[in-house]
């Protein structure tokens, strides 16, 4: 049997693709392979300029804003695109002018300042969350004002809570009742009110735990996990019985349940795409089509004027935001804003990346290569130290071990590119008395969660893993990340590195490369705009042998 996904894969080079992919999908496709990065310094908004505090809009206005620009068919949006682009650009210039005059720092001293209801604040205090992080200070009021957003901030800066709190402020048992009436089924008709999509099972499970932390175990059924590999019937029965207001899952599972009619999402009010740049990758294309086209979009609304079209609020999240994400947000969202730790800017103000100038002879300002790298220094936690060490392939594990001893690292994540090699590294480390375990997607669900649990509770000192663990994995104690196999690009480097140095902690990243791989390290250093110092391990100490000063972000 040939699956639809396979047909699309084959169809990449066939006319068949046209028949399979609608014009909306064709746009979607274009967003999948675009490389580039957001220009982040195009002005910023203060809390008041997005309508928070001093400029609170009447509720009706917010409501009407939500329905003014329904997502039409893609052909409609493509037709209107040029015109809207010009209008938006004008608007963006006006906003930028306004911003420069009234910029105010976002950092808030408390969650109550941000409009989070008291009942949620009490829950936050119970788990020791008293002060919002910068990105939470910027994102929470913006989302509470019903704006579609891209949240971009470095790894471990608290992006999950930045969208979770506004969602729980509006739906579920701890909601602020004043925010009711913004549409949605309210879970009453069995429809969910928030869908959170994450690229991996582990990340999905982690997000569920973050929801549960705030909701408390008594409200456990408000949120349900929908991931592959779990018991399918049990998940479907739980959906039917518990009628969760929030579901968190992987694209495949959500798309499958939505297509079978077991997951009703048409009245959904929030669609969150966590690690959105990963979700836009080719692997998830088919499932993401389904999700974008169905979640929070009510069929037949156009034909019957009395049936109100309920639009979802779109929240996209990642530490790395290439321009393909900006384009996706512009197409699927309504006047989306880019939210960063100290900035909120309209997406219209972000110019597309400039093409790379390849000619060596060209000179002058206009010929400078301006294409930004995939990930930038803003994707990385500020407390990280980056090193590389040159070693032969057969000595890489030995270098890893020396580094762990030199730094006395307790929670180490070692990344490799090939699953088959993980076991060998674990074997070599254990042979030298160092507790290690492998983690990868081929392991069963139980083995994966047991290994993670052992790592988190300190039973396992070195977690040897592949790209599976690069995104989202939150082990706050992790103090060392080692690249035994080199990351393929700066985006992968940033997400791997971000497993350490979380939420203001210190962390070290070591890349162990062979002599011929050195240029990859240099390239990433340049793309990310960070110094990666050359080091060696002598007498149980890390010695810097060469300081790097190259900080150019040009590629
Ligand atoms: N205001 C806060 N106070 C204390 N701890 C917090 C706060 N907000 C989040 N945290 C904790 O900080 C850690 C990192 O948060 P989170 O995983 O949301 O980061 P992230 O920015 O999404 O990272 P990544 O990009 O790697 O997914 C988590 O353990 C979370 O519970």
Token readout for 45 is 């908004």
Which residues does a 6 A CB cutoff place in the pocket of ligand 1?
129, 131-133, 136, 153, 155-161, 319, 472, 474, 476, 498, 502-503
pLDDT at 101 over 80: no
Using the mean position of ligand 1's atoms as its centre, give its distance from the Cα of residue 474 in Å.
Answer: 8
- 290 and 337 co-located in one domain: yes
For residues 143 and 229, membership in a common domain is answered with yes
* Radius of gyration over every alpha carbon of the chain, rounded to an integer in angstroms: 24
> For residue 109, how many other CB atoms are within 10 A of its CB?
11
Number of helices (H), then strands (E), in the chain = 19, 16
SS3 string of 231-277? CHHHHHHHHHHHCCCEEEECHHHHHHHHHCCCCECCCCCEEEEECHH
Q: Which of 139-143, 228-232, 490-494 has the lowest mean pLDDT?
A: 228-232
pLDDT computed for residue 206 by the predictor: 93
- Integer CA distances (angstroms), 224 to 122, 205, 238, 314, in order: 23, 10, 8, 20
Query: Does pLDDT of 303 surpass 70?
Result: no
| CATH code (residue 270) | 3.40.50.300
Minimum-distance ligand 1 atom for the alpha carbon of 135: 21
Atom 11, ligand 1: residue with shortest CA distance: 158
The preferred substitution site among 108, 112, 156, 492 for testing ligand 1, maximizing ligand atoms within 8 Å of CB, is 156
For residue range 180-203, list pLDDT tens digits in order: 554 444 444 557 999 999 999 889
Residues 493-540: pLDDT tens digits?
999 999 999 998 999 999 999 999 999 999 999 989 999 999 999 999
Between the alpha carbon of residue 302 and those of residues 79, 307, 333, the distances in Å are: 18, 8, 18
Least confident interval from 13-27, 177-191, 387-401: 13-27
Cβ atoms 470, 499 nearer than 8 A = yes
Summary mean pLDDT of the chain: 77
State residue 472's pLDDT score. 81
pLDDT in tens, 449-484: 899 999 999 999 999 999 988 998 999 999 999 999
The answer to whether residues 454 and 460 touch, using CB atoms and an 8 Å cutoff, is: yes
Give the relative orientation of helices 490-497 and 518-528 as an angle to the nearest 10 degrees. 80
pLDDT of 85 higher than 60 = no
- Name the closest-CA residue to atom 8, ligand 1: 158
Residue 540 in any domain: the answer is yes
**102 within domain boundaries:** no
pLDDT at res. 366: 40
Q: In whole angstroms, what is the distance from residue 508 CA to residue 522 CA?
A: 18
Q: Is 5 a member of any domain?
A: no
* Residues 319 and 241 occupy one common structural domain: yes
Is 428 a domain residue?
Answer: yes
**Taking residues 358-379, what's their average pLDDT?**
49
In ligand 1, the atom with minimum distance to the C-alpha of 502 is 14
* Among protein residues, the one whose CA lies closest to atom 2 of ligand 1: 129
Same domain, 296 and 411: no
405 shares its domain with 538? yes
What is the whole-number distance in angstroms between the Cα of residue 282 and the centre of ligand 1?
A: 28
Give the Å distance between the CA of 204 and the centre of ligand 1.
14
Nearest Cα residue to atom 5 of ligand 1: 129
> For residue 418, what pLDDT is reported?
93
- Atom number in ligand 1 closest to CA 210: 31
127, pLDDT greater than 50: yes
Confidence of residue 30 (pLDDT cuts 50, 70, 90): very low
Mutate to test the pocket of ligand 1, among 503, 504, 505, 507 (most ligand atoms within 8 A of CB): 503
Q: Whose CA is nearest to atom 27 of ligand 1?
A: 472
Q: Is residue 484 part of a domain?
A: yes
- Nearest Cα to Cα of residue 389 among 411, 409, 404: 404
d(CA 71, ligand 1 centre) in Å: 32
Alpha-carbon torsion angle 7, 12, 13, 14, nearest 10: 50
Residue with the smallest CA separation from ligand 1 atom 4 is: 129
Same domain? For 320 and 417 the reply is: no
Across 80-216, the runs of DSSP E, i.e. the strands, are 149-152, 194-197
Whether the predicted pLDDT of 46 surpasses 90: no
Do 251 and 199 contact (CB within 8 A), yes or no? Answer: yes
| Atom from ligand 1 closest to the CA of residue 132 | 1
CA of 25 to the centre of ligand 1 (A): 34
In a domain, 103, yes or no: no
Look at residue 301 and tell me whether its pLDDT is greater than 70: no
| DSSP assignment string, 348-375 | GGSPPPPPPP--SS--SGGGS-----SS
Q: Are residues 273 and 386 in the same domain?
A: no
Helix (H) or strand (E) holding 451: helix 445-456
pLDDT at residue 307 is higher than 80 = no
Distance 181 CA to ligand 1 centre (A): 30
Q: Rounded to whole angstroms, what are the CA distances from 555 to 307, 382, 521, 527?
A: 52, 22, 13, 6
Give yes or no: residues 206 and 329 share one domain: yes
Confidence class for position 17, pLDDT limits 50, 70, 90:
very low
Residues 405 and 340 in one domain: no
- Say what the pLDDT of residue 515 is: 95
Q: Over pLDDT 90: what percentage of the chain?
A: 55
315 and 391 in a single domain? The answer is: no
Ligand 1: distance of its center to the CA of 475 in Å? 10
For 321, half-sphere exposure in the C-beta direction (CA atoms, 13 angstrom radius) is 29
Higher pLDDT, 167 or 66: 167
Provide the domain limits for residue 537: 380-544
Q: Are both 471 and 333 inside the same structural domain? A: no
Mean pLDDT of all residues in 334-360? 78
Provide the pLDDT for residue 245. Answer: 95
* pLDDT tens digits, one per residue of 162-174: 999 999 999 988 8
| Per-residue confidence (pLDDT) for residue 392, from 0 to 100 | 96
pLDDT at 58 over 70: no
Residue 63 maps to a domain: no
280 and 414 inside one domain = no
pTM of the model: 0.78
Give residue 232's pLDDT band: very low, low, confident or very high (50, 70, 90): confident
The pLDDT of 74-78, averaged and rounded, is 38
Is 406's pLDDT higher than 80?
A: yes
Residue 414 lies in a domain: yes
How many structural domains is the chain composed of?
A: 2
CA 545 to chain centre: 36
240 C-alpha to ligand 1 centroid (Å): 31
Q: What is the DSSP letter of 173?
A: T
Element (DSSP H or E) covering residue 427: helix 419-431
């Amino acid at each position: 049997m040939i699956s639809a996904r396979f047909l699309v894969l084959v169809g990449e080079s066939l006319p068949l693709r046209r028949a399979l992919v609608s014009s909306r999908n064709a746009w979607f496709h274009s967003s999948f392979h675009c490389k580039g990065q957001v220009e982040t310094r195009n002005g910023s908004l203060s809390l008041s300029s997005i309508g928070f505090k001093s400029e609170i809009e009447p509720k009706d206005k917010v409501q009407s804003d939500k329905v003014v620009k329904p997502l039409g068919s893609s052909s409609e949006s493509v037709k209107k695109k040029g015109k809207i682009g010009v209008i938006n650009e004008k608007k963006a210039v006006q906003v930028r002018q306004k911003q420069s005059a009234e910029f105010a720092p976002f950092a808030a001293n408390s969650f109550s300042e941000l409009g989070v209801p008291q009942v949620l604040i009490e829950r936050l205090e119970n788990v020791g969350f008293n002060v919002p992080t910068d990105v939470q200070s910027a994102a929470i009021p913006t989302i509470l004002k019903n704006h579609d957003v891209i949240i971009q901030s470095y790894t471990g800066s608290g992006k999950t809570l930045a969208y979770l709190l506004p969602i729980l402020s509006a739906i579920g048992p701890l909601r602020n009742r004043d925010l009711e009436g913004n549409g949605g089924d309210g879970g009453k008709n069995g429809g969910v009110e928030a869908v959170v999509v994450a690229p991996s099972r582990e990340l999905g499970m982690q997000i569920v735990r973050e929801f549960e932390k705030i909701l408390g175990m008594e409200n456990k059924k408000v949120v349900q996990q929908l991931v592959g590999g779990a018991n399918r019937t049990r998940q479907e029965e739980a959906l039917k019985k518990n009628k969760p207001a929030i579901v968190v899952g992987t694209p495949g599972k959500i798309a499958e349940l939505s297509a079978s009619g077991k997951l009703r999402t048409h009245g959904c009010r929030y669609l969150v795409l966590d690690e959105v740049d990963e979700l836009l990758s080719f692997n998830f294309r088919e499932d993401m089509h389904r999700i974008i086209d169905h979640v929070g979009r009510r069929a037949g609304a156009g034909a019957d004027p009395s049936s109100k079209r309920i639009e979802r609020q779109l929240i996209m999240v990642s530490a790395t935001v290439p321009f393909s994400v900006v384009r996706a947000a512009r197409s699927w969202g309504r006047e989306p804003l880019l939210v960063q730790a100290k900035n909120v800017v309209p997406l219209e103000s972000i110019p597309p990346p400039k093409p790379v100038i390849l000619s060596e002879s060209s000179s002058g300002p206009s010929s400078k290569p301006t294409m930004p790298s995939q990930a930038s220094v803003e994707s990385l936690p500020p407390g990280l130290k980056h090193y590389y060490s040159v070693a032969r392939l057969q000595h890489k594990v030995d270098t890893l071990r020396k580094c762990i001893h030199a730094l006395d690292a307790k929670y180490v994540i070692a990344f490799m590119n090939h699953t088959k090699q993980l076991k060998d590294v674990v074997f070599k480390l254990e042979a030298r008395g160092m507790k290690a375990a492998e983690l990868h997607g081929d392991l069963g669900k139980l083995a994966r969660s047991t290994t993670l649990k052992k790592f988190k509770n300190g039973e396992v000192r070195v977690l040897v893993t592949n790209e599976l663990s690069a995104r989202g994995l939150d082990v706050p104690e992790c103090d060392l990340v080692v690249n035994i196999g080199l990351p393929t690009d700066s985006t992968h480097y940033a997400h791997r590195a971000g497993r350490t140095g979380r939420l203001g902690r210190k962390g070290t990243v070591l890349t162990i490369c062979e002599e011929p791989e050195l240029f990859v390290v240099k390239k990433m250093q340049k793309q990310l705009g960070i110094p990666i110092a050359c080091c060696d391990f002598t007498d149980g100490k890390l010695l810097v042998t060469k300081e790097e000063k190259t900080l150019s972000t040009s590629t």
